[in-house]
Structure 1
């Protein structure tokens, strides 16, 4: 498969705080560590753990589902599209009730750091979305789960599969009846 343009291309997942039981999150971290301990390459191990991680978010949603609110989902969608102004290529994103996925490419020529830009995205969306959900969220509570899950994409075949994965998310998240009316995806 042809390589992607120089730079970083990743499928990232941001999730709301409290959307996975702590035991599930620990089990996923242990699964990743065990896969790496037996010699599974880091890239492949992260992809396998991502599948379990996302299934857990989709299957038994717990915790807040703030992105069911049109105003909150629209705010996050706007922030994703604003990443293009920072030099990112936003290949696609989908916003589900309790988490969001985005496929982002940061060209090698950029002076930005991928991690710093995602930290900024976290901060900006947390501040904006907190105002919209203030009655539901105590002042000391976090909006986002700290960090994000990242799966680097190595070539155009992986990018194509990741984009198809985003297209299927509304159905997997049991939003099928609303799929055509689910405007919080972009490709």
Structure 2
């Protein structure tokens, strides 16, 4: 399997998962989404906001456009803005990756931020975005259980990989 295929599958899977989570969580009450629990972030909605902020931050480097405005995305936003922001960013990343060549994916992008410096390939940053989101979505499932949400959707990679060409293809 080529790097292009692997990363393209990864962003397609990530986009599918993001949509499954947002569709699932959009049926939950504002009270549940904003109920404080002990975790990395105090609420499910705050965790989703963080996922969106992080996706946007890394998008600026992956796309080499430096259009990330931390202040703008950190401002108080509504549930719908967070939901739409995550979905839009995931779709944007998927579309972008599908347009890249194998060489584009292997291109190094140097980052010099106030927090760290690194010089890795685009595909490594893309993998980081996906893994970071997965980590926090796992927290959301646990947070949900603590506020009475027990019907998390099945979003394992293998489930998507097995069924992506059949019954769930229309969702991808």
TM-score of the two chains, using structure 2 as the length reference: 0.30
TM-score of the two chains, using structure 1 as the length reference: 0.28
* Higher RCO by CA contacts (8 Å cutoff, separation 6 or greater): 1
Greater fraction of residues in strand: 1
